[in-house]
Structure 1
Amino acid sequence: MALKLGDKLPRLTLKDQEGENYHFSRLENTALVVFFYPKDFTPGCTKEACSFRDHYQEFQDLGAEVVGISTDNENSHKKFASKYKLPFVLLSDKEKRARKAFGVKPGLLGLLPGRETFVFNKDKKLIHRFNSMGASQHIPEALNSLKKIQGK
């Protein structure tokens, strides 16, 4: 079942790029941007991750943390984060539990995992959801939704 606006952030524990358990609950009093992407090191996903990296300080200034999720394993995430100097956490969703909990639909006629971004306010309620296989619009969509809740 897909998340709808106003829904709470799902309670999940996934492995991060260091192989450690990561709980979203550790981010208290922080807005959260969760972006699901198909695969490490592919052109579109690299562009999207690097764009989130390049705008990371803007997200931080708006009181938000960024988290990327794909079905790649922790080792792949570690190499991807290291190569592109990604300052945010990447989570491994090999069993697709997070994709299911968030309701991320497959893209490209069901051939690729979907590319979708979710923005949660400090109370961990969903305030914006954006689905597009094109990587470039996810960052401005997320930033604009955070600016709206802050009246900027």
Structure 2
Amino acid sequence: MRLPLRLLPLSLALIAVPAVAALSTGAAAPDFNTRGAINGKVFRLHLADQLKKGPVVLYFFPAAYTSGCNAEAHEFSEHIDEFKAAGATVIGMSTDAVPTLVKFSTEKCAGKFPVASAGPRIVSAYDVALGKQFTDPKTGKARDITNRTSYVIGRDGKIRFVHSDLSYVDHVKLTLDAVKALK
């Protein structure tokens, strides 16, 4: 089947630009339980328990130990005191295995905030599947990865802010601004 020439620019645009989906502002944040690490120590993470303390910045990143994800984790760690002063908890999420996140939590997050493993149910619930795979250079195993999407979740469990962009550059600034605006 041939595509009419008038539709060719539209079809090329759809192929060239990946669809970015995320949960909408005002939606209920899906609750979950998973394992994660903070400062090299493994722990259980339950989102509902974190929300009892205040708002949560839940940021999904594609893969630990990649340049953008390393830079983003470093930037969050540099600004963690500002998030805490605004009453927020920062949690990084990826499809990395917990042993990888144990090291990442100390080496790239400076032990200042937790990172947790997002399994297929969490990835689906938060609509952050990137539709690509990453092959871990250490293990040689391929796994699905997430889009770089940051959510600010209010204490009431509602999503207050969403930023989805593969560039890490604005995630920290925009989520911090959103947290400060909650007060």
Shift of 1:101: 0.7
- CA deviation vs aligned residue, 1:71-127 (integer Å, no higher than 9, x gap): 11111001111113131111112x3221111111417xx455310000011212101
Shift of 1:2: 4.4
How many residue pairs were aligned?
Answer: 147
- What TM-score results when the alignment is normalised by the length of structure 2? 0.75
Alpha-carbon distance in structure 2 between the residues aligned to 1:19 and 1:142: 26
Alpha-carbon distance in structure 2 between the residues aligned to 1:121 and 1:56: 17
Could you tell me the percent identity over the aligned residues? 27
Aligned to 1:120: 153
Q: Which has the larger radius of gyration?
A: 2
| Structure 1: gaps spanning 5 or more residues | none
Contact 1:49 1:86 in 2 (8 A): no
Greater relative contact order structure (CA < 8 Å, 6+ sep): 1
Are 2:97 and 1:73 aligned? yes
Question: What does 1:80-99 align with in structure 2 at a 5 Å threshold?
Answer: 80-84=104-108, 85-93=110-118, 95-99=119-123
**Distance change (3 Å), C-alpha of 1:13 and 1:80:** same
| Structure 2: gaps spanning 5 or more residues | 1-20, 134-144
Moved more, 42-51 or 5-14: 5-14
Moved more, 30-39 or 19-28: 19-28
Contact 1:32 1:124 in 2 (8 A): no
Moved more, 75-84 or 41-50: 75-84
Alpha-carbon distance in structure 2 between the residues aligned to 1:106 and 1:77: 20
Are 2:38 and 1:15 aligned? no
4+ residue runs of structure 1 moved beyond 3 angstroms?
A: none
- Give the partner amino acid of 1:79: K
Backbone CA RMSD of aligned residues: 1.7
